[in-house]
Amino acid sequence: MISRLNLYQRYLIRETFASVFLVLAAFLALFAFFNFIDELRTVGKAGYSVVHAALFVALSMPGLVYELIPIATLIGTLYALSTLARHSEITVLRASGLATSDLLMTLFRAALLLALLTFLIGEAVVPFSERLGKEIRAKALSTVIAQSGFDSGLWVKDGRSFINIRKAAPDAPLEGVRIYHFSQQNLLESVTDAQRADFEDPDLWRLSGVVKTVLEGDSSRVESAQAGEWRSTVTPTLLAALMVSPERMSLLGLLNYTRHLTENKQKTERYEIALWKKVVYPLAALVMVALALPFGYSHNRVGGVSLKIFAGVMLGILFYALNGLSSNLGAINSWSPVVSATAPSAIFLLIATGMLWWVERR
């Protein structure tokens, strides 16, 4: 595809890619350094060493790439266009009859490749690397998969049952399982305690050291057994998904977990927003190149390259903050997941459209 482009198109795409990946590398180095410094505070606890910290930071890098590509696209494209404008190359192209729409379409070609890269990293690399990094950290620190904000361990709802798991280490049996089962009238029917639970496909847990308390009206009885069975839609895959934040999960993982929450009548807003963001977020690269284009038309008397780069950094930070704010407010206020996920990109697209209109009017 690149070989069939005009000379100026290949040149512009090459310069844009070079600037974007340079900015991305600088951001990654900076964020990785601070993340490693932060992890050093944990080194020495249990079996957590410097090697574990370095592995954890390295495995978190794909997630950083996924988050930073749109911002790097904005700053990199802005830098490339500003440099071309400073050398009067943009002026020559426009004087040769190149329309703004043609220039924008060329930048969109580069942005589409960056959007595809963002999507592939988010789907194929990030969920695996994030989970592996969390597993390495959890094993080294001998901690549970997820605490869900409670000191009592992990809590999961499955149909009419609430399950409390004291310890759910990666790739290991569950320990300290307590199952609260409720009737259709929301009355507690039984409490089952098990020292250990081993999973067997597709939905069976083998319990060991079982003590079951059955409530019958005003009376109760206790049943003890060396072994027992527990059939549940809660699987190791589902529990492992809790190690990864919704924004780092794959589309398939989000669909499956959202379906599980829906079947158990639990709130799904956060995961639905994350699902729509997985679809929309890669396309932010197209919005960013459109936002950067007007800066390429301004001359040095309006502002130097350094001032434009500063403006790009500020816009990138604003987009990053607005993206997180929109998701959190959407989950808190039960806004439409589509609106919450698309609002930041839509706002920036309107700004870009307004700036391009202003440039064409000049």
Per-residue pLDDT of 77-95, as tens digits, reads: 988 888 887 777 777 777 7
> What confidence score (pLDDT) does residue 146 get?
46
- The pLDDT confidence band at residue 362, using thresholds 50, 70 and 90, is low
> What confidence score (pLDDT) does residue 147 get?
43
Inform me whether the pLDDT recorded for 301 exceeds 50: no
Inform me whether the pLDDT recorded for 70 exceeds 50: yes
Q: Which amino acid is at 229?
A: E
Task: Tell me the C-alpha to C-alpha distance, in Å, between residue 172 and each of 138, 167, 193, 245.
Answer: 12, 10, 18, 21
CA 113 from centre of chain: 20
C-alpha to C-alpha distance for 292 and 27, rounded to whole angstroms = 18
C-alpha to C-alpha distance for 335 and 327, rounded to whole angstroms = 9
> What confidence score (pLDDT) does residue 152 get?
64
Inform me whether the pLDDT recorded for 21 exceeds 70: yes
Q: Which amino acid is at 319?
A: F
State how beta strands 161-167 and 154-158 pair: antiparallel
> What confidence score (pLDDT) does residue 87 get?
76
pLDDT digits (tens, 9 = 90+) for 193-234: 999 999 887 888 999 999 999 998 788 889 898 899 988 878
Inform me whether the pLDDT recorded for 151 exceeds 80: no
> What confidence score (pLDDT) does residue 148 get?
44
Stretch 162-187: mean pLDDT: 82
φ, ψ of residue 103 to 5 degrees: the values are -65, -40
> What confidence score (pLDDT) does residue 254 get?
84
Stretch 166-172: mean pLDDT: 66
C-alpha to C-alpha distance for 32 and 349, rounded to whole angstroms = 30
**What's the mean pLDDT when you consider all of the chain?**
84
Among 2-16, 39-53, 131-145, 276-290, the range with the most confident prediction by mean pLDDT is 276-290
Among residues of the chain, what percentage have pLDDT more than 70? 90
φ, ψ of residue 331 to 5 degrees: the values are -70, -40
Answer yes or no: pTM beyond 0.85: no
Inform me whether the pLDDT recorded for 5 exceeds 80: no
> What confidence score (pLDDT) does residue 305 get?
65
- The pLDDT confidence band at residue 241, using thresholds 50, 70 and 90, is low
C-alpha to C-alpha distance for 248 and 287, rounded to whole angstroms = 22
State how beta strands 154-158 and 188-200 pair: unpaired
The greatest distance separating any two alpha carbons of the chain, rounded to the nearest whole angstrom, comes to: 91
Helix H or strand E encompassing 205: strand 204-216
- Residue of 100 and 349 predicted with greater confidence: 349
Two structure tokens written together for 329? 């407010």
> What confidence score (pLDDT) does residue 171 get?
60
Task: Tell me the C-alpha to C-alpha distance, in Å, between residue 282 and each of 29, 52, 163, 294.
Answer: 22, 31, 37, 22
